[in-house]
Amino acid sequence: MRTDYIDILLLHSPPSEILIQDWLPELFHMLRERGEIRCWGVSARTDEDALSALEIAGIGCLEIPLNLCRAAALDKVIPKAASGGIAVIIRQPFASGALLPQRNSLEEAGSDKDLASGPDSGVFTPRACLQFVLQAPGVSTVIPGMTRPEHVRQNVAFANSQPLSRDEIQSIRDRICRDKPAGSHSA
């Protein structure tokens, strides 16, 4: 890797019995003191796991799923992390592809013209998925899944495009999340 340290070390979905061990924060503190890691945290599957992880002394970041139809973390998890100065990394803004239209590519699915006729046009794009999480207060960064170079280019364009209004995003959420489990939060 040509580096002497790890920028972010994440424990992915650790069992709760591991998270409550006293040696865990001590180990990561020692690794930080030795310059082997810069930050450590937990990648949590559920909001409950995320809230438990936020109780660990010394945690520096938290990775959680957040998307248009799974937004409950906006109510408790993200505000609690932000109040503790803990960075929030968002994964699965497209809900592992479940929120993407059935198209051949992101380019076909998400050009800016898709929302040109307004929030009630009935058109949904991946742009809304990314903008929803990027606009969320307390979010530090987003990791969208990408499998091809054109996905990277398109996601960068979505992130840098004119922000959608709260009403546009809410209208899209109302349309696509009707039959999907959603969090309690309204954007």
Backbone phi, psi, residue 40, to 5°: -135, 160
Residue type, 17: E
Mean pLDDT by groups of 10 residues along the chain of 187 residues? 89 88 92 96 95 94 96 96 98 90 48 40 72 95 92 91 90 79 44
Q: Which pLDDT value is given to residue 1?
A: 67
Burial of 164 (0-12, 13-18, 19+ CB in 10 A): buried
39's CB contacts (< 8 A; 6+ apart) are 7, 8, 9, 32, 60, 61, 87
Please give the CATH topology (third level) of the domain spanning 6-179. Answer: TIM Barrel (3.20.20)
Q: Which pLDDT value is given to residue 104?
A: 42
